[in-house]
Chains A and B, each alone.
Chain A
Amino acid sequence: MEFPEELKYTEEHEWVMVEEELAVIGITDFAQDSLGDVVFVELPEVGTFLEAGKAFGVVESVKAVSDIYAPISGTVEEINDDLVDAPEIINTSPYEDGWMIKIRMADAGDADNLMDAEAYQALIAEES
């Protein structure tokens, strides 16, 4: 399983890539593997304000429904439309083609509170 060094991570198994005031968000390799085959993704509309810690979408596998939580607050700039018709991309490319949303951060400093790859790996080692 991969956990790129350049990303930040949450306890709810989202990843965040910060690009100045923008943050790209998806779910981790560990999350997609635990879910199994992803068959449905529900994402917010562009322009929606997301509050850190609140659910902003849903990812469903054959067997399970899972909320996706906003790692940081901000306004949705862009969503990954490809996931609507091909949600399985989340399984095959969780960090790249499987990105979910791009938000404009309310406070760019929020990302500093998230885990780095090492801390996240320690967390999932505990969970599994």
Chain B
Amino acid sequence: MKKTPLNQIHRELGARMVDFGGWDMPVQYSGVIEEHLVVRQAAGLFDVSHMGEIEVTGPGALAFIQHLTINDAAKLADNQIQYSAFCYPEGGVVDDVTLYRFNERRFLFCVNASNTDKDFAWMQQVLSESAMTDVTLNNRSAEFAQIALQGPKAEEILSSLTDVPLADIVYYHFHEGVVAGVKMIISRTGYTGEDGFELYLPASAAVEVWRRLMATGAPHGLLPIGLGARDTLRLEKGYALYGHELSRDISPLEAGLAWITKLDKLDFVGKAALVKQKADGVQRRRIGLVLQERGVPREGYPIFDGDREVGVVTSGTMSPTLKIGIALALVEPAAAGIDNELQVAVRNRRMGAKVVRPPFVQ
């Protein structure tokens, strides 16, 4: 199994470890609910070093990225970040990614851990088929550790370890600066819906930086957070997770990502299929569901509108904030209206569920 540079730290902290797409990762330290709530109320520290980093450089970098991705990368200024995706020609999703622009000739993609090799191969294929010669792709995933510091206390904690004026880094922007003596990318992004940072740093410095952050943050209530709470935190905000709300078989239009699908952009991989899908109307829509009784909707549970099966849960959990069952689901468009009353088949029972527009937690 692959290990991040922080693996030993997790073991020292007594984390429960799981195989997450081939990575030996902490699923929880003190408990999913406690970890979840501390991120909403104070701050949490996540090892997300399993995420992949793929660099695109050269005079043709921007043109290549415009061809590869569904969002409009031309809108990015230097030091700005964009949420985007790669699609197959058929319109399904290769991966959802964040794109960092250093300058017109240098970009970095942050990609999902278990998709890194697939994404890199896909990028090489798209590049070779494009006949562009002034672009270089570099999979730098092994060089980087990635630590996410998330929560309302994140800026206060980080500010005591850096001279970088953090208040000047606005959401979805980044700055290259020194934290705890280590030069890194300080990115004001995250997957929790809270304020916070994702730090991209040399793998060799990860242990030292983690320890400094924990020591500095402890008086503010900072706790280490595992993948269990990472999942419940993103679900409460309605964020898609590849392999659940997104896949080769689910298009960004179906998955609620029309807002990053720029069909008026010049040609990009998947555009024709997505334009057609939009014109014909999607067959499924991603919705949010709130259970009307106590229970936990889970991935794969079928959804009914009366006697008719209209869709399936793609991710679900008991919301630690709301203490009710919440889910993201794919359903027929006719069943997707806000406030519509549907039923989730939870084992042998049907539980009432109301359609909502995520986020579940503001």
Q: Which A positions have Cβ atoms within 8 angstroms of B?
A: 36-37, 39-40, 58, 60-63, 65, 84, 88
Asked whether, in the complex, the Cβ of A63 is within 8 Å of the Cβ of B228, the reply is: yes
Asked whether, in the complex, the Cβ of A62 is within 8 Å of the Cβ of B228, the reply is: yes
Known contacts A62-B228, A63-B228: A40-B298 contact under CB 8 Å: no
**A40 contacts across to B, CB distance below 8 A:** 294-296, 318
Asked whether, in the complex, the Cβ of A62 is within 8 Å of the Cβ of B294, the reply is: no
User: CA of A58 to CA of B295 in the docked complex: distance in angstroms?
Assistant: 11
Known contacts A37-B33, A39-B318, A40-B318: A62-B232 contact under CB 8 Å: yes
B296's partner among A36, A60, A84, A88 (CB-CB below 8 A) is: A60
Q: Is B28 an interface residue (CB 8 A)?
A: yes
Q: Please give me the residue from chain B that is nearest to A58 by CB atom.
A: B347
Known contacts A40-B294, A40-B318, A84-B294: A62-B347 contact under CB 8 Å: no
**A63 contacts across to B, CB distance below 8 A:** 27, 32, 228
Q: Which of B16, B28, B34, B294 has the largest count of A CB atoms less than 10 A from its CB?
A: B294
Asked whether, in the complex, the Cβ of B317 is within 8 Å of the Cβ of A62, the reply is: yes
Say which size band chain B's interface belongs to. Answer: 10 to 19
User: CA of A83 to CA of B32 in the docked complex: distance in angstroms?
Assistant: 19
Q: Is B31 an interface residue (CB 8 A)?
A: yes
What are 18 A-to-B residue pairs whose CB atoms are below 8 Å? A36-B16, A36-B31, A36-B32, A37-B31, A37-B33, A37-B34, A39-B33, A39-B296, A40-B295, A40-B296, A40-B318, A58-B347, A62-B33, A62-B228, A62-B318, A63-B27, A63-B32, A88-B33
CB distance from B160 to the nearest CB of A (A): 32
User: CA of A88 to CA of B32 in the docked complex: distance in angstroms?
Assistant: 12
User: CA of A37 to CA of B31 in the docked complex: distance in angstroms?
Assistant: 7
User: CA of A54 to CA of B298 in the docked complex: distance in angstroms?
Assistant: 23
User: CA of A13 to CA of B33 in the docked complex: distance in angstroms?
Assistant: 23
User: CA of A21 to CA of B326 in the docked complex: distance in angstroms?
Assistant: 42
Asked whether, in the complex, the Cβ of B232 is within 8 Å of the Cβ of A65, the reply is: no
**A61 contacts across to B, CB distance below 8 A:** 32
**B27 contacts across to A, CB distance below 8 A:** 63
A39-B296, A62-B33 are known; give 10 further A-B pairs, CB within 8 A.
A36-B16, A36-B32, A36-B228, A37-B32, A37-B33, A37-B34, A39-B318, A40-B295, A62-B232, A88-B33
**A88 contacts across to B, CB distance below 8 A:** 33
CB distance from A68 to the nearest CB of B (A): 13
Q: Which of A63, A65, A88 has the largest count of B CB atoms less than 10 A from its CB?
A: A63
User: CA of A6 to CA of B272 in the docked complex: distance in angstroms?
Assistant: 70
User: CA of A19 to CA of B252 in the docked complex: distance in angstroms?
Assistant: 60
CB distance from B165 to the nearest CB of A (A): 38
Which 3 A-B pairs give the minimum distances between C-beta atoms? A39-B318, A62-B32, A37-B33
For B72-89 the 0/1 string (1 means CB < 8 A from A) is 000000000000000000
